[in-house]
Structure 1
Amino acid sequence: MLDFRTQGYNGYSVKYSPFFDSRIAVASSANFGLVGNGRLYILGLTANGIVAEKWFDTQDSLFDTAWSESHENQILAASGDGSIKLFDIALNEFPIQSWQEHAREVFSVHWNLVAKDTFLSSSWDGTIKIWNPTHPTSLTTLPTHSCTYSAQFSPHAPTVLSAVTSDSHLRIFDLRTPASASNHLTLSIPIHTPPKARPGHAPPVGIPPSEALTHDWNKYRDSVLATAGVDRLIRTFDIRAPGAGPIAVLPGHEYAVRKISWSPHLSDILLSASYDMTCRVWTDGSAMGHGKEDGNMMQQDPMVFGGGREMGRMGRHTEFVTGVDWCLFGAEGWCASCGWDEKVMVWDVRAIMGP
């Protein structure tokens, strides 16, 4: 396990470069993001450990970052002052572009993985905005009418995007649909709808809605997403059956889940980062089928649904863990995590997984 200290700055987001397996970026904030400036670190993984190749200081906190999918040296930063900045790590410390349209903190940025010529941002102001890095203003604004902690383009379709919000809904937008009164909204799934009861099992327990903080698209199943947030539960949904409720529910974290990420290598594996100071690896149960083991697990914990389970945890962080990301290259286990303990850690998930 490798680690690096972001001294004086608390980590919020960590992302591997899509071009280099030895380069990661960390968005961080002074004073836990409550007040003060931010710093975007560009870190290199070397034979001598993790080294800071470059960093960019900003006037306000940074909450998320996203590498360009079309230019290996360009990277976005989401700021607490409502701005989005684009940096080029081969150039000087100033951003090469900056956009200021959001009225509140920008909490997520995400590059279009398919078209590669657009990116999105989501904000506490209740909107998602679509951008082209060569345009001075946003291309489209999508209202969610709720604090939007996480938004993403689908990795399978260039015009489809998703978001989770403080009102506990998973929203799906399709930019190909008419921009009528629905503003491209095609689905709005209440996250806290209980799963449908299975034959021979008691009805699943309902939980009051709470804020959804993070979500991610499955990289192999184009209709499956996972969500998580304040209620500590990870849920997976199939948007082909939006009224069916979650297809899997994964309990275990002791505090809010701040970040989840599906594996880029295995269709049933996902990672989570939580305020309980742990990162955990899970299977959603889709690779095992649903049989006797599923029933036994439900008897032990009535919140378990879908046959998924925790496969291991990493507990080396000493404060809230806020970011986690998989390496796209090489063996399927390497990942990075960051947290409020000023630590960035690079580690192998396979080392913590049980049998």
Structure 2
Amino acid sequence: MAAGYRTVGFKGYSVKFNPFSDQLLAVASSANFGLVGNGRLSILGTQPGTQSLSERKHFDTQDGLFDVSWNESHENQLITGSGDGSIKLWDITLNNHPISKWHEHKREVMSVEWNYVTKTSFISSSWDGTSKVWNPASPQSIRTFSEHQGCVYGSVWSPRQPDQFATCGEDKVVKLWSVNQPNGKSLATFNGHMDQVLSLDWNKYAPEQFVTSSVDRTIKIWDIRNPRGQLAMFGPFEFSVRRVKFSPFSPHYIAAAGYDMSASIWDVRNGSVVFVHDAHREFVFGVDWSLFHPGVMATCSWDEQVHLFKIPV
């Protein structure tokens, strides 16, 4: 299976499958590489048994969009992180305007993610050096976390512990946090990358493990019980890895996408590459796994293309 859709004039930054439907994807994109100009949230649909991928709806924004996350308790709602520092909540059954908006971050919002476990909160991270936890019913953030020195590229919830999340940033480190920590201090700091840490994700089947990717051109796997060193390392590669994502169906496979213009699937047991999708012609910034169909994946790229394909694992 292979399908494509072109986000004409917009560079793809993030693509996410809907957790309630096997036929919907959301894509966050920006004009002019996110430096200036509009953004677009595209809702794409698939048809069962076909190779088609078409737009169901889109929402245009005044500034670029860098990430998107579906509401874990509402199939028609999602949030976006924007270049103007705002976060918007959308309902795909409505037109034109977001149903809620928050604007506490001082710079670009690089990531947003809904809590998988409690489903009542989400987290954001920004170039302003902070991560914030939100409840969609509240007009202000619940808590702010700010130990990183420089941009925070990603904040990702633990798949088992509803209060815990991890962050990665420009300062080359990963930090583990708890929303319930009274003093707001991180629980642990993980050093080991030699340059900015661009992405991270948890292993859903071994929730003490997470994976990171870096400008130092490596992928590393860590255990939260041992901050002193990684469990495994892949690379160095020729180019930086922009995004990593554990499979939702197996503890053994990681998807990686980045500046080599491809998406690859790695077997963490032996460090081998089991599949490469190299149909993009520019940097690949977004990659996601379908939650309904094992091996079905989506990517988005600066080449203004969204690809849907199946891998043989």
* Shorter-chain TM-score above 0.5: yes
| Counterpart residue type for residue 101 of structure 2 | S
Q: Which runs of 5+ in 2 are unaligned?
A: none
1:57-72 paired onto structure 2 within 5 Å: 57-72=60-75
How far is the alpha carbon of 1:174 from its aligned partner? Answer: 1.1
Distance 1:155 1:271 in 2: 17
Select 1:278's aligned residue among 229, 245, 262. Answer: 262
> Per-residue displacement from partner, 1:167-192 (whole Å, max 9, x unpaired)?
111100012222x2xx2410011133
1:10-159 paired onto structure 2 within 5 Å: 10-46=11-47, 47=50, 49-143=52-146, 144-159=148-163
Distance 1:210 1:280 in 2: 22
How far is the alpha carbon of 1:145 from its aligned partner? Answer: 3.2
1:217-256 paired onto structure 2 within 5 Å: 217-243=202-228, 245-251=229-235, 253-256=237-240
| Counterpart residue type for residue 264 of structure 1 | P
> Per-residue displacement from partner, 1:242-286 (whole Å, max 9, x unpaired)?
12x11111116421111110000010101011111010100111x
8 Å Cα contact 1:253/1:274 also seen in 2: no
Please name the residue that 1:320 is paired with. Answer: 283
Distance 1:23 1:177 in 2: 37
8 Å Cα contact 2:70/2:114 also seen in 1: yes
8 Å Cα contact 1:170/1:191 also seen in 2: no
After TM superposition, the runs of 4+ consecutive aligned structure 1 residues lying more than 2 A away are none
Which structure: larger Rg? 1
Distance 2:51 2:107 in 1: 40
Give the TM-score normalised by the residue count of structure 1: 0.85
Distance 1:253 1:21, change over 3 A: farther
Q: Please tell me whether residue 335 in structure 1 is matched to residue 297 in structure 2.
A: yes
Select 1:309's aligned residue among 272, 281, 285. Answer: 272
8 Å Cα contact 1:176/1:184 also seen in 2: no
Select 1:348's aligned residue among 305, 310, 313. Answer: 310
How far is the alpha carbon of 1:107 from its aligned partner? Answer: 0.2
| Counterpart residue type for residue 234 of structure 1 | I
Distance 1:40 1:229 in 2: 27
| Counterpart residue type for residue 14 of structure 1 | V
Distance 1:54 1:94 in 2: 13
8 Å Cα contact 2:216/2:236 also seen in 1: no
Q: Please tell me whether residue 264 in structure 1 is matched to residue 248 in structure 2.
A: yes
8 Å Cα contact 1:127/1:145 also seen in 2: no
Please name the residue that 1:5 is paired with. Answer: 6
The total of aligned residue pairs comes to: 309
Please name the residue that 1:300 is paired with. Answer: none
> Per-residue displacement from partner, 1:155-209 (whole Å, max 9, x unpaired)?
111100100111111100012222x2xx2410011133xxxxxxxxxxxxxxxx2
Q: Which runs of 5+ in 1 are unaligned?
A: 193-208, 286-306
RMSD: 1.1
Give the TM-score normalised by the residue count of structure 2: 0.97
8 Å Cα contact 2:143/2:179 also seen in 1: no
8 Å Cα contact 1:175/1:184 also seen in 2: no
Distance 2:51 2:278 in 1: 24
Distance 2:149 2:71 in 1: 28
Structure 1 vs Structure 2: percent identity of aligned residues?
A: 45
Distance 1:267 1:48 in 2: 28
Distance 2:98 2:237 in 1: 38
- Per the alignment, in what secondary structure is the counterpart of residue 226 of structure 1? strand
Distance 2:211 2:106 in 1: 28
How far is the alpha carbon of 1:309 from its aligned partner? Answer: 2.1
- Per the alignment, in what secondary structure is the counterpart of residue 242 of structure 1? coil
How far is the alpha carbon of 1:48 from its aligned partner? Answer: 6.2
